[in-house]
Amino acid sequence: MNLPQISEAISPAGIGQAMFELIADLYPICRSITGNGVRQTLKRIQQVVPIEIHEVPSGTKVFDWEVPDEWNIRDAYIKNAGGERLVDFHHSNLHVLNYSIPFRGRMGLHELKEHIFTLPEHPDWIPYRTSYYKRQWGFCMTHRQFMKLRDEEYEVCIDATLAPGSLTYGELCLPGRTTDEVLVSCHVCHPSLCNDNLSGIALAAYLARRLSEQGRRYTYRFVFIPGTIGSITWLALNRTNVARIKHGLVVACVGDSGRLTYKKSRQGNAEIDRAVQHVLKHSGSEYEVLDFVPYGYDERQYGSPGFNLPIGSLTRTPHGRYPEYHTSADNLEFVSSEALAVSLDMYQRVLDVLENNRRYRNLNPYCEPQLGKRGLYGPVGGQADRHLREMALLWVLNLSDGENSLLDIADRANLNFVHIRQAAKDLEECGLLEECQG
């Protein structure tokens, strides 16, 4: 692990670039729900933040599931009768049906076609297909390539192993002043796909790095896990600890140019749901809010009825809603350092709301206190700023009866949380406000 790199500061402008570079480094690796690709990925993340790598043996019972055999692949190809590699795993790892069983054989076109996946509507893209739970072999290729196949004998090879081993995941805990936790979860099981998977990994890694450099009220737990089976495994191993999770987000698809989209937690009106919607509303950018559905990424496991954790998912264009999704066109050109940096900033703003969302009591509740004599009407800014500041002070004083949180006040006042928070700070400093404990 390269610890000195962790203390090396990254400028806010450079962080999008750093995230993009991490994506570019991870892009060529062939990942799956288990195997060396995940290990290699987690080791690279350790250069950004010191995550711990965990191994869970194949066959371990995790709720209704079982940790599967470990898949590793070295090579795969389809050769024509002349010995030419028409499809080559080393050109794109998407060419192999992910989790294919090992296979070697010769066959005619008719038989081979049964094992080939293409996208006729996008003839130059390779689709990404998996077969985790049905044992089969297969190849994915561009439709254009497929149309060129002649009726001849082909040599097919998938040099892979599917054998008992383990499921690998990464975890990082950043302790805060309380043991209440915020969970940030991303999946690490997709091969060469940038927006779906790698952008989430990069955001989670750099968000963890930023948080590691600042004071924290909450304890933050980051998990880098294979989708579905990874969250099921993690929940099974941490069943008794999840009560500490008070808020959480599943990160994915945060590098494209689409608008930010928030999928609410199963609870629908949890503090995280309100915090994200508040930040999006005041971001000045277009956004969309979706209700929870039991489909999508790992929020569906965190939101299963036995857990019902307040965990939503903040993405840009959601999975399945862009044509490049799960194809070779979800590549390095599809994501940008600018989009990544803005997404990271949104996450940071949401966490700032959670960190600072307290309840206060007005210590001068009988009529308005005189703000002028306490120097609360500073000569800063123009008329508009002054009015905004005054409104924030009045709202905080009026609604700080011990019941309303600062987020409640910000929403009711329709003012940005940062102004409400600043007003509360100023009022507390001049003795007009006291934080409620518990």
Query: Is 50 or 127 the residue whose CB approaches Zn ion more closely?
Result: 127
Minimum distance from CB of 90 to Zn ion (Å)? 23
Query: Is 315 or 357 the residue whose CB approaches Zn ion more closely?
Result: 315
Query: Is 33 or 397 the residue whose CB approaches Zn ion more closely?
Result: 33
Minimum distance from CB of 320 to Zn ion (Å)? 8
Minimum distance from CB of 298 to Zn ion (Å)? 11
Instruction: Considering only the stretches 141-149, 150-158, 193-201, 305-313, report the one whose residues sit in contact with Zn ion under the rule CB under 5 A.
Output: 193-201
Task: Enumerate the β-bridge partners of residue 96.
Answer: 139
Instruction: Considering only the stretches 94-102, 136-144, 189-197, 424-432, report the one whose residues sit in contact with Zn ion under the rule CB under 5 A.
Output: 189-197
User: Which of 408, 409, 375, 365 is closest to 391 using CA atoms?
Assistant: 409
Minimum distance from CB of 130 to Zn ion (Å)? 9
Which residues inside 197-256 make contact with Zn ion, applying CB under 5 A?
Answer: none
Size of the site for Zn ion (CB under 5 A): 1
Measured from each CB, the residue nearest to Zn ion is: 196
Query: Is 123 or 320 the residue whose CB approaches Zn ion more closely?
Result: 320
Contacts 24+ apart (CB under 8 A), 394-398: 394/368, 395/420, 395/423, 396/360, 396/420, 396/423, 396/424, 396/427, 396/433, 397/362, 397/364, 397/368, 397/369, 397/427, 397/432, 397/433, 398/362
Minimum distance from CB of 121 to Zn ion (Å)? 19
Instruction: Considering only the stretches 146-154, 195-203, 330-338, 385-393, report the one whose residues sit in contact with Zn ion under the rule CB under 5 A.
Output: 195-203
Query: Is 196 or 299 the residue whose CB approaches Zn ion more closely?
Result: 196
Which residues inside 9-38 make contact with Zn ion, applying CB under 5 A?
Answer: none
Query: Is 36 or 98 the residue whose CB approaches Zn ion more closely?
Result: 98
Query: Is 226 or 369 the residue whose CB approaches Zn ion more closely?
Result: 226
Query: Is 112 or 202 the residue whose CB approaches Zn ion more closely?
Result: 202
Query: Is 245 or 252 the residue whose CB approaches Zn ion more closely?
Result: 252
Q: Is the dihedral of CA 120, 159, 135, 56 positive or negative?
A: negative
Minimum distance from CB of 423 to Zn ion (Å)? 43
Instruction: Considering only the stretches 115-123, 196-204, 210-218, 300-308, report the one whose residues sit in contact with Zn ion under the rule CB under 5 A.
Output: 196-204
Instruction: Considering only the stretches 188-196, 347-355, 363-371, 409-417, report the one whose residues sit in contact with Zn ion under the rule CB under 5 A.
Output: 188-196
Instruction: Considering only the stretches 40-48, 75-83, 150-158, 190-198, report the one whose residues sit in contact with Zn ion under the rule CB under 5 A.
Output: 190-198
Minimum distance from CB of 319 to Zn ion (Å)? 6
Minimum distance from CB of 200 to Zn ion (Å)? 10
Pick the binder of Zn ion from 196, 256, 273, 298 (CB under 5 A): 196
Residue 324 interacts with Zn ion (CB under 5 A)? no
Instruction: Considering only the stretches 32-40, 191-199, 243-251, 424-432, report the one whose residues sit in contact with Zn ion under the rule CB under 5 A.
Output: 191-199
Query: Is 189 or 407 the residue whose CB approaches Zn ion more closely?
Result: 189
Minimum distance from CB of 251 to Zn ion (Å)? 13
- Indicate the length of the chain as a whole number: 438
Interacting residue ranges for Zn ion, rule: CB under 5 A: 196
